Structure formats: structure tokens, C-alpha cells
Amino acid sequence: MNSLRLVAGALLALVPASAQQIPVVEKHLPNGFKLLMVERHEEPRIAGGWVVKVGSANEQLGTTGIAHLFEHMMFKGTPTLGTRDAKRDLELIAEQERVRDLMRQEEASLRLAYRHGEISDLTSPGNLTPRYRELETEFRKLIDEQRALLVKNEFDRVYTTAGASGMNAFTSEDMTGYFINVPANKLELWCWMESERLLRPVFREFYAERDVVYEERRMRVESTPIGKFAEEFNAVFWDAHPYMWPVLGWPSDIPNISKKDADAFYALYYQPQNITIVLVGDFKPDDAEAMVQRYFGRIPAGTRPPPEVTTREPEQAAEKRMYAEAETNPQVDILWKTVAFQHRDSYPLDVLQLLLSGRTGRLYKGLVLGKEVATETYAQQDSRKWAGLFNIGGEAKDGKTPEDVEQGIYAELERLKNELVPAEELQKVKNQFAAFEYRKLSANFPIFMQILQNEGSGDWREVNEAGAKLAAVTAEDVQRVARRYFTPEARAVAIYTRKPGAAASEDPDLAGLSAEQRPVVRRIVESLAGEKDVARLKQALSQMEAQSANADPKRQQLQKIIQKKVAARIAELEKP
């Protein structure tokens, strides 16, 4: 059971705060940085990082995926980190750009030939022009020379040598976050390292890293059973909002992002006025503020504010449906348009999610245990910075269809529309939040992450204010939002059936995970096989379900699969 506890603890999400407040100190640097600090002396470490208020929603068609690409590029170093010869390194980058500009001219002629039907595949090596091949050879020579100068992973190595751990980053539709845990006596090192990569970043290996991002997209989307369908379904769901394109970017955009595009993106969004620094741990706020000012204060303020997302999603006039045959178990996935972060209706929608989800929720009781049309169900409320959605779905039981599950979902929603939730049931789900509130102060990093994500969504104060708003939700509020948002014309429905002739894989759940995540699930499955304590399993599952709403974006799929495995083991042990 140790593996299960470790993974459950790593799934980063916390319940919104209520009466017990996180003591955040907010400061502002003269150049525009916001600084949020939480002093805690329970452990001699500091969780430090920063969030840039830019995500895929801030991109433009033609350069989708650039926010995620930047997540990668920000680890490439500075003039003093990552190279043996900074001067020659910069010269090589300039030479590479000169050659790439010429290559882009050839690529433009290829796209014209493609539009005219003269070639059928832009990616085929056989369609490349002789001039392009010549330039490609020159470019590779420049790359090889630069590689000889590189000090790979030096940024990470400096931190690791100093006792730091957990360096990582994430990109979502609304934000890009960077974080690490450092010993308390290494705060100055952190300030220097992080301010240096903002003040003097060097985007070396830009095109090689762009290829890495493209491959990541292929593995996470195109090589999974329903990845490409889920991406298409998301584009069907949104009519106008930039949430319609994937965080990883469209496949035709990623290879065409230039370093000039990246430089312009960085100058616009990675300016002090658009970044919030977060520190949680063993320090004195006055000392930490002075140190942050010393290092981050060197960075010039931006010259113009980043633009807001102004495109609004129009009111949907008719239900949308998508049918797909995939190498997966039959299932249904339904999306409804709802509300943005901190909208007054987001709180009853949060409560509605708790009423529906989990093994004690209405969907599981009604569709898995009651009508026996599903093997699993889920519900997810997702109020993002600019707009929101609500996701409900389930996997069909053998002999049943996705449409059977779909109708069962609608039946449960009709109950919520027509009958007030009993007071006891409503209080029970509120207690689920209250039961985990102590965890918001359990360790530096979970506190750090919830502050970071709320700040990226629009307001860090939500960690201290959301609890009271959730507690105030009434049965009438739940009924009102159920009637308001869960209408046929506001939804999109995806029906997945098994592709004819396709056999189920050994474990299709693992197909959508990264190479690093698959072994984690396998170890947990092995651990679960020897676990016979149903009560402990239920406790662990309940904890993960309560944390699921605000999980680290990169771990949400992993969390869902782990929950499924734990639930399956519980069901197996409870069989007569």
C-alpha cells in the first residue's frame, strides 16, 4: 500500500479554503512583479516558483503550441549556464536563424505546391526541393557545432547539487507555471537561477526542442486510442473561443514556429507585469522580499501590457454529436458550456460535481450499481479563466451501449432539476470538502501549488475565499444551475465504439500515459493485487477523488487511471 499512498500524496490538489486562512503576504516590486509569500517553519525547505499568465488561450492560429514550447525552452539556460563558449553559442544561434529563414522560403513554395495539388504530402522527404536539402545540410552542421559547446542539463544539475528537488513546469490553457523545492539556506541560489533565466534566457537548441515537443504531441495524442478523437471533440465543442485548440498545438503549427515568433512571444508575455512569484516555506518575509528585489528587480518592466482574450463563446443553438470508432472500450463523453473562474454559479456547479462523482456519487450508484449499464462514471467541473465547461461520461458495461450510459446520465440530471437535493446529502458532500481542509496546511508544496494555480486563473485569494462560498451553496442553487446549464442545446456528445476487428489491448488504460507514467500505474496495480483491506482502499480512493478537481494538469489523466484501478480492486474484493 506504500506505493498507493505515495502517488496519492503526489497528486497535487487541495480543497478551497474556508475559515482557516492561508497567511499569504502580498508584495509588489517596482518593475511589476507580484510576490506572494507564506512563512512556514515546519520544514527547512522552500517551495518556490512563478506563474506566467499565459497559456494556449493566448496564442494565435499559426503559432498554437508556442506557450507549451516555451515551457521547454525556459530550461535551456543562460549565457553562464548551458554552454562552454557563450560568445560562439550566440553566433551559432544567429547563423542558424539566417539559414532557417532561407529554409522557410522553400517551405512556403512547398505549401503552394500542396495547395495546387502538385504534391500530396508536405512531410515527405521526396518532395523537398534541392535548395532545401542544401540548406538543411548547412543547418545540421551548425547544430553539430553548437552541440559540441553545450553543457546538457546544467540548469538542473546546479539545483540538484545544492539539494533541490522536484524541478518541473506545466502549461495549461490559462497559465504556465515553474516550480522547485530548495533547502531553506538556498533561497539566494533560487533567486539568482530564476531571475537569470528571465533576465538573460538563451533559447539554444530551439529547433531541436521544437521537434521534441512535436514528438511529445505524437506520443500523447496521435499514438493513443482516443487522443486524436478527444482533440477533435474539443474543437467541435468550442465554436469561437481559443480553448478550441489543444495546449500542445495543432500538428501543422508546431513545425512552423520560428525563433523570431518565440522572441516576440517572450517579450510580450514573459514581462514582470505578467508574472507572479510564489514562495512558501522556511524564511522571514522581509528578508525574502529584499532578496527577491535584489535579483528580480534587475529585470526591466514590460513596455506594453499583454492583451486579454476578448473572443467570447457564442450561445450554442443546437446539440452537437460526434461518433468515433476507436481501439477502446465503448464509452460516452458529454460536455456542457458553463461559467468562468469565480463566477457565482461555479460554486454550486462544484457541489453538483461532488453529488455526481465518486463511488458514493449519484452516477456510480445509479448507473454502475443500479441500472448496471456502466463500469465507471465521472463528472468534472472546470471553470477556467475565460470560460467554463462541465464534463460527464462513462464506460459501457459489456452488453450495453454508450447510448445506454448517456440516457442514464440524463436521468440523473433530471432528478437534480426536478427534486431538491436532500439536506443530509448536500451536507455530506460539503463535509467531504471540510474533511480535507487540513491538508491545505500540510506541507509547503501543496500550499504553493494551490496559490500558484489560483493566481494563474485570476486571483490567488480564491484559496481563502472559495470555502465559504461553497459552504453557502443551497439545494435551490444546485437545482438552479442544473436547470440553467444542463440543456440539450448547450451540450456536445461524443460516442466511442470499438473499431470493428480491433481486439482490446492488454491494458488500454496505459496507452494514453507517458513512458514515465506507465510504470507508476503498473507498480500500483501490482501493489493493489496484494492489498485486501477494503477500508484502506476506500479511504485512499476518497482522498484522490476529493483532490481531483484541482490536480496538476500534467497528472490529471494519471490520477483518473489510478482511481479506476483502485475502484476496480475494491469491486473485486467486495464480490460475494
What are the tens digits of pLDDT across the range 231-245?
A: 999 999 999 999 999
Crossing angle for the helix pair 259-269 and 66-73, to the nearest 10 degrees: 90
337 and 231 co-located in one domain: no
Residues 357 and 452 in one domain: yes
Q: E strands along 133-235, which residues?
A: 165-171, 176-183
Same domain, yes or no, for 146 and 160? Answer: no
- DSSP, collapsed to helix, strand or coil, labels residue 73 as helix
pLDDT reported for residue 559: 80
Inside any domain, residue 571: no
Sign of dihedral through CA atoms 486, 487, 493, 495?
positive
The answer to whether the beta carbons of residues 27 and 155 sit under 8 Å apart is: no
Would you call 471 exposed, middle or buried from its count of C-beta atoms within 10 A (0-12, 13-18, 19+)?
A: middle
Query: Residue 386: which CATH number?
Result: 3.30.830.10
**Contact partners, residue 152, CB within 8 Å, separation at least 6:** none
Same domain, 348 and 226: no
Q: Amino acid identity, residue 258?
A: S
Domain final residue pick, 92, 120, 150: 150
One domain for residues 268 and 349: no
Out of 134, 150, 166, pick the residue that ends a domain. Answer: 150
**How would you classify the pairing of strands 45-52 and 275-281?**
antiparallel
- Does the residue 376 lie in any domain? yes
Residues 410, 327 within the same domain:
yes
506 shares a domain with 371? yes
Q: Is residue 297 part of a domain?
A: yes
Is residue 480 assigned to a domain? yes
* Sheet containing 491-498, strands listed edge to edge, beginning at the edge strand earlier in sequence: 320-326, 491-498, 331-337, 388-396, 374-383
Residues of the chain with pLDDT under 50: 1-19, 504-505, 549
Say if residue 287 is in the same domain as residue 339: no
Q: Which domain holds residue 381?
A: 315-511+538-548
Burial of 450 (0-12, 13-18, 19+ CB in 10 A): buried
Q: Does residue 366 come out as left (phi exceeding 0), alpha (psi in the -120 to 50 range) or beta? A: alpha
Asked whether residue 178 is domain-assigned, the answer is yes
Check: CB of residue 338 under 8 Å from CB of residue 389: yes
Task: Specify the pLDDT at position 15.
Answer: 39
Closest CA to 76 of 213, 175, 214, 188: 213
Residue pointed to by grid coordinates 438552479: 480
The full length of the chain comes to 576
Residue 463 lies in a domain: yes
C-alpha distance from residue 52 to each of 65, 173, 191, 275, 453 (Å)? 15, 12, 16, 5, 10
Cell of 322: 460526434
How far, in Å, CA of 365 to CA of 369, rounded?
A: 5
3-state secondary structure 364-425: HHHHHHHCCCEEEEEEEEEECCCCEEEEEEEEECCCCCHHHHHHHHHHHHHHHHHCCCCHHH
The answer on 120 and 46 residing in a single domain is no
Question: Nearest-5° angle of CA 47, CA 51, CA 57?
Answer: 145
Q: What is the model's pLDDT at position 440?
A: 65
**From CA 107, how far away is CA 118, in angstroms rounded?**
14
Q: Of 274, 309, 344, which residue sits at a domain end?
A: 309
Please indicate, yes or no, if residue 131 is contained in any of the structural domains. yes
Number of domains in the chain: 3
Contact 383, 454 (CB under 8 A): no
Asked whether residue 100 falls in the same domain as residue 67, the answer is no
474 & 455 share domain:
yes
**pLDDT in the model for residue 12:** 31
> pLDDT for 60-104, tens place per residue?
999 999 999 999 999 999 999 999 999 999 999 999 999 999 999
Q: Are strands 491-498 and 320-326 parallel, antiparallel or unpaired?
A: parallel
Question: pTM for this structure?
Answer: 0.84
Residue 106 domain flag: yes
Whole-angstrom distance, CA of residue 465 vs CA of residue 454: 11
Going from the C-alpha of 315 to that of each of 86, 533, 551, the distances in angstroms are 53, 49, 29
Is residue 216 domain-shared with residue 363, that is, in the same domain?
A: no
